[in-house]
Amino acid sequence: MKKNYLFTLLLTLCFSTISLGQEMLLNGGFENWDNNTTPTDWSKVENTTKESTEKRTGDFSAKIVGGTSDLAQTISGIVAGDSYTITLWYKVESGDDTDARIWSYWRDASNSNIDNNDNDSEDAIRGPNNDYLDNNGNIWTKYETTITAPAGATQFYFELRVYGSAVVYWDDLSFMHNVVGTDPVISILSPSDNTVFPSTTTEVQVQLSIANFTLSGDNGSEMSDSTGDGYILGTLEEVGEAPGSKNIFTTTPEAINVDPGKSYNLTVELVDNAGTSLSPKVETTISFSVDLPCDLQLGAIDTTCDATTSGVDTYSGSIAFTGGANGYTYTVTAPGGVTVGGDDPSSVASGTITFTGMTEGVDTDITIVGDATSSCNLLRTLYSPTCVPTAACPGEGAIIITEIMQNPFSVTDDNGEYFEVYNTTGAPIDMQGWVIGTASTGAPATDVIASSVVVPANGYVVFGENADFSTNGSVNVDYQYNSSLFLGNGTATITLSCGASVIDEVTYDNGATFPDPKGKSMELAASKYNATDNDFGSNWGEATAEITSGGDLGTPGAANSFTLSIGRNDIEGFTTYPNPITNHTFTVATSTSDKKEVVIFNVLGKKVFSATFTGLKKDLDVSTINSGIYILKVTENGKTATKKLVIR
């Protein structure tokens, strides 16, 4: 059947003269928005909102609030060796001069970044100079640079970044192709060649760019009124059908309707007022398609152990689905040895596909592919559970944390973080099946100890992120935990759990009471080896022994080098009461009348109360502090006492 497609997609013609060149950035003035948080034509948008008050020109600008937020789009049609000019207008409302930067790349036809180490290009488009844009007194500021596309470049990835808690406005952005010739030029900016649109697409937006050519108007009969050089002849072909064409005179022609599973070729040509091709012919063609539908939707994934032994077990899993039984045939593929069962999405509308015979420790990739009339090509991974016997749990404090390397210097954190545990009992303890937990700046993470880890009686074991002695700072790691665990460099918590019991937990506080070294571990004083005393930062110090010659300092797997100096924690007659505090007031007392500094920290290490007094004792009002658990630190004559404080 013959179909004639008129242009129902909005063609925005960016016209420019020889002196200005060819604008290639879409919606650089942020005048068009899909919604209040998504500027039209920008492919990566983070923490961005439409701003109508603080703008440079037009009606809107883009406002970005920090947190390492990006705004980006990919520009196609780059010509290697040609000159391009980038113009940015920005305003930093608040920040610390490390707030905003351009962070862009040339890309080749395979979409790979090109690092050509050319100062004309690299330094100008990243930073600039790997630095930040000048805040310039928080006024609207222009950054402009002219660069040359390196060999192999066919695209330019245009990205802006905002950091920290900064508030930055962007407006009047430009990426100009510096056209030096006088020949007419037409190019298709959007869609890119070979774009595949989702099956739900009903209209595709196109954007053209013209240089050195003036469009005539429509005389009312879809013919030229001869007021310019000519017009655009657009031809759209649905593959397998006869093409349709239309004369285009305006920046807002009609739209193209598209159908799922169809492919299209779009050709645009500059012609004179009589409709005759120019000499030489000036035209360009791109192809695009609309995906076939995929109605199948995958849901919850579940895995369970078939057994829990000390050896390698098997596990089973399942994937829930909806949208089946829709006329398509689906093929479910699993690795060899894995049996597929349960409901068949080819014939069941909603259900669960099951998988058995999977090996513990091996994640299993499952693919579900539709037939030739479906675009479904789905991949899901069944992650292996840890199948270990139920642990025999000792009492609280049987295993304690005695050393923490949270911030190595000789190697990266990912390679060199570790912590040490000590068995306070007279019998060995196997920690298989225990759970290690960490919590810091990111989401809390846990890892089940999957293999036997025996801590000798009154002995040590070292847990680390990297067990490779050659790359972890020469640390003998007994058990390598999952890389999702992170020992934060600020305030962080390490938890050791067995069953429903927390055996030990340490929260260090970014230097408020705990040490906060770099390249040195934090070590618990040997005289404080118990689950109560290791809660207090005053009982920890910095390691003084080298792990390896010229390396970081620490004693992983051995007695700690740190010892408390005499009287460090010993304020004579120190006492505080009541604890817990129930009436908003508590008393601090010592045996001398010397000056005392009292500080209370929350569990995140933030100071929430401070006071100074002289005399033997003083009642302190803490009615402004919320209920919770806190750390009390009292200093007198260079001596420090630390105590857990509960406010109810």
Report the C-alpha gap between 134 and 101 in whole angstroms: 9
* pLDDT for res 441: 67
Report the C-alpha gap between 520 and 290 in whole angstroms: 58
Which residues share a beta bridge with 617? 589
- Within 393-457, strands assigned E span 399-405, 418-423, 429-430, 435-439, 445-448, 454-455
Report the C-alpha gap between 34 and 41 in whole angstroms: 9
> What does the H/E/C string look like for 316-358?
EEEEEEECCCCCCCEEEECCCCCEEEECCCCCCCCEEEEEEEE
Residue 402 and residue 420 in contact, taking contact as beta carbons nearer than 8 Å: yes
> Looking at residue 224, what DSSP letter applies?
B
Give the pTM. 0.50
* pLDDT for res 601: 81
| Residue 405: pLDDT band with limits 50, 70, 90 | very high
Specify the residue for token string 């004792």: 617
CB neighbours (10 Å) of residue 380? 14
DSSP one-letter string for 557-579: TS--S--PPTTTT--TT-EEE-S
**pLDDT tens, residue by residue, 481-536:** 998 898 988 899 999 999 999 999 999 998 889 999 999 999 999 889 999 999 99
359 burial (CB, 10 Å; 0-12 / 13-18 / 19+) is middle
Helix (H, G, I), strand (E, B) or coil at 533: helix
Report the C-alpha gap between 52 and 50 in whole angstroms: 7
> Looking at residue 255, what DSSP letter applies?
B
Residue 48 and residue 28 in contact, taking contact as beta carbons nearer than 8 Å: no
| Residue 432: pLDDT band with limits 50, 70, 90 | very high
Instruction: Work out the end-to-end distance of the chain between its first and last CA atoms, rounded to an integer number of angstroms.
Output: 80
* pLDDT for res 205: 86
* pLDDT for res 121: 64
Report the C-alpha gap between 116 and 125 in whole angstroms: 12
**pLDDT tens, residue by residue, 52-100:** 999 999 999 999 987 788 999 999 999 888 889 999 999 998 777 888 9
Report the C-alpha gap between 103 and 54 in whole angstroms: 24
Best CA proximity match to 538, nearest among 404, 439, 639? 639
Pair of tokens at residue 485: 């665990």
**pLDDT tens, residue by residue, 194-244:** 898 998 899 998 888 788 899 999 999 999 999 999 999 999 999 999 999
Higher confidence at residue 189 or residue 104? 104
- The answer on pLDDT for 10 being more than 70 is no
Q: Find all residues with CB under 8 Å of 478, minimum gap 6, and list them.
A: 453, 461, 462, 463, 557
Pair of tokens at residue 53: 């008050």
Tell me which of 32-46, 382-396, 450-464, 596-610 is least confident.
Answer: 596-610
Which residues share a beta bridge with 621? 585
* pLDDT for res 179: 67
Q: CA distances (Å), 223 to each of 212, 249, 271, 442, in order? A: 21, 9, 12, 63
Which amino acid, one-letter code, is at 584? H
Report the C-alpha gap between 147 and 129 in whole angstroms: 14
CA angle 306, 308, 314 (to 5 degrees): 40
Task: Respond yes or no on whether the N-terminal peptide bond of residue 578 is cis (omega within 30° of 0).
Answer: yes
Q: Which helix (H) or strand (E) holds 601?
A: strand 596-602
Report the C-alpha gap between 236 and 248 in whole angstroms: 13
**pLDDT tens, residue by residue, 324-378:** 999 999 999 999 999 999 999 999 999 999 999 999 999 999 999 999 989 999 9
142 burial (CB, 10 Å; 0-12 / 13-18 / 19+) is exposed
Best CA proximity match to 322, nearest among 290, 289, 300? 300
Phi first, then psi, for residue 319 (nearest 5°) are -130, 120
Mean pLDDT of the chain: 89
Report the C-alpha gap between 72 and 58 in whole angstroms: 21
- The answer on pLDDT for 101 being more than 80 is yes
Q: What does the buried/exposed string (b/e) look like for 199-219 if buried means 16 or more CB atoms within 10 Å of the residue's CB?
A: bebeebbbbbbbbbbebbebe
* pLDDT for res 209: 79
Specify the residue for token string 């592919």: 369
Q: CA distances (Å), 221 to each of 216, 225, 230, 249, in order? A: 13, 9, 15, 11
Over range 278-306, report the average pLDDT.
94
Report the C-alpha gap between 131 and 133 in whole angstroms: 7
- The answer on pLDDT for 163 being more than 80 is yes
Phi first, then psi, for residue 136 (nearest 5°) are 55, 45
Q: What does the buried/exposed string (b/e) look like for 490-518 if buried means 16 or more CB atoms within 10 Å of the residue's CB?
A: ebbbbbbbbeeeebbbbbbbbebbbbbbe
Q: Which helix (H) or strand (E) holds 245?
A: strand 244-248
Residue 40 and residue 34 in contact, taking contact as beta carbons nearer than 8 Å: yes
Report the C-alpha gap between 198 and 429 in whole angstroms: 56
Report the C-alpha gap between 503 and 183 in whole angstroms: 78
- The answer on pLDDT for 118 being more than 70 is no
